[in-house]
Amino acid sequence: MAAGIRVGGAVLLLACLTFAPRAAWTQQQSLPAAQRLVEAAIERAGHRVTYDGSYRTLAYPGGDVPDDIGVCTDVVIRAYRSGLGIDLQKEVHEDMTRGFAAYPKIWGLERPDRNIDHRRVPNLETFFTRHGQSFPVTRDPDDYAPGHLVTWRLPGNLPHIGVVTDRRSWDGRRPLIAHNIGRGPQLEDMLFDYPISGHFRYLPGE
């Protein structure tokens, strides 16, 4: 006790350092789910990631490729994990196990593969349709709210996915998208750059 009195300032500082992370975590958990997802997606834009979609064997649940590699789906997967504590690897795998016939047969698989299924855009489109909300595809930027998910088909019919954020384009008219189209995670004004194939919201509990 005497030592505490003599170095009261230091003790107070230690207390702040000890409890601040818990306070920050509590504050973060009190935010709406959409905001937490958006902030987690924006945070991903600060990571240096090499675009690499090669097949890898992952741990389960909670498996991930190395943090310095990834594709468009990994932005979404990591944002859900860090922002909402939702493991899309587990959720998609369990849903595919229960309802495999509902999922695309593009890859010739006869059973679910927990290493890769959640990293494929058409599977995420199916999962979000089955367990989230699907919205009409429009050309009105105001229809795309923060926390929504958008999928596109790039040239060559390549599927792509991103998270709608609360940041706006330079003219304030369009939301910026958190995505990785090959240059690593970025925030970009690209909502209408490619044909939109899907528009979803997946925020369990809200």
| Cβ contact 194:153 at 8 Å | yes
% pLDDT > 90, the chain: 84
Predicted confidence band at 205 (pLDDT cuts at 50, 70, 90)?
A: confident
Is residue 129 pLDDT above 50, yes or no?
yes
The pLDDT value given to residue 61: 98
The pLDDT value given to residue 8: 44
Name residue 64's amino acid. Answer: D
CA dihedral 50, 54, 58, 62 (to 10 degrees): 50
3-state SS of 139-172 is CCHHHCCCCCEEEEEECCCEEEEEEEEEEECCCC
% pLDDT > 70, the chain: 86
The pLDDT value given to residue 110: 94
The residue extents of the domains of the chain are: 1-30, 32-201
| Cβ contact 51:180 at 8 Å | yes
Domain 32-201 CATH class label: alpha beta
Is residue 142 pLDDT above 70, yes or no?
yes
CB-facing half-sphere around the CA of 1: CA atoms within 13 A: 0
Q: Give the tokens for residue 125.
A: 């489109």
Mean pLDDT score across all residues of the chain: 89
Name residue 81's amino acid. Answer: R
Looking at residues 104-112, what average pLDDT do you find? 94
Vertex 88, ends 83 and 93: CA angle to 5°? Answer: 165
The pLDDT value given to residue 29: 62
Is residue 24 pLDDT above 80, yes or no?
no
The pLDDT value given to residue 28: 58
Looking at residues 48-69, what average pLDDT do you find? 97
